[in-house]
Amino acid sequence: MSRKINIAIFASGSGTNAQAILEYFKESNLVEVKCIYSNNPNAFVLQRARSYDKATFTFSKEEFYKTDKVFQHLRHNQIDLIVLAGFMWLVPEKLVEHFEIINIHPALLPSYGGKGMYGHHVHEAVLANQEKKSGITIHMVNKEYDKGEILLQELCPVLPEDTPDSLAERIHKLEHEHYPLTIEKIAQKLRFQGS
């Protein structure tokens, strides 16, 4: 493929991962972040997107699950890869069937995954179980929460004095380092396949 690999970022909240990705690919000849999609019109990620001059697109639950609006928008943008970065809704089957989609999860799947296991809920559960280690999982998205093929896991310690916030901070650092690198590897593969 001679053009850049177009990615769409889906996020529901603050968007520190989205920002790490935007920053990493700011001057890239390989990857173009086409648009930031969100189910939450008040999400801070939308402000981050605008500060990088990126298009944003928001949608309601009804639009996401009962219409083709998001699907058509992705097609129009010629999206090659969808990147979930703190996106809290299950992705509809039609999108899973048509697009390559990856997600990042703030724990070592298959532990601490599934519906309701997101953000601080994950870290609270890890601490409640007195785990000695946690980490991140980057995986393919299929029709079930957190069940797709695992692409990468990175570990970090859980310290006796950790709070959900301190653990989240350690995990976020790992995420910001590894998510852009994983996206880059997938984009290289997609470009090679399309060439």
Residue ranges that bind ligand GAR, judged by CB under 6 A: 11, 13-17, 85-86, 104-106, 118-119, 122, 171-172, 175
What residue is closest to ligand GAR based on CB?
86
Q: Are 139 and 150 in contact (CB under 8 A)?
A: yes
- In what order do the strands lie in the sheet containing 5-10? 55-58, 31-38, 5-10, 81-84, 100-105, 133-140, 150-157
Q: Catalytic one among 98, 105, 139, 178?
A: 105
- Whole-angstrom distance, CA of residue 122 vs CA of residue 78: 34
- Whole-angstrom distance, CA of residue 151 vs CA of residue 182: 8
**Nearest-approach distance from CB 75 to ligand GAR, in angstroms:** 25
Nearest C-alpha neighbor of 145 from the set 88, 95, 99? 88
Q: Known catalytic residue: 123? A: no
Our CB check for ligand GAR shows the closer of 54 and 191 to be 54
**Nearest-approach distance from CB 3 to ligand GAR, in angstroms:** 27
Our CB check for ligand GAR shows the closer of 5 and 11 to be 11
Longest dimension (CA), the chain: 51
Our CB check for ligand GAR shows the closer of 79 and 122 to be 122
Indicate which residues carry an active-site annotation.
Answer: 105
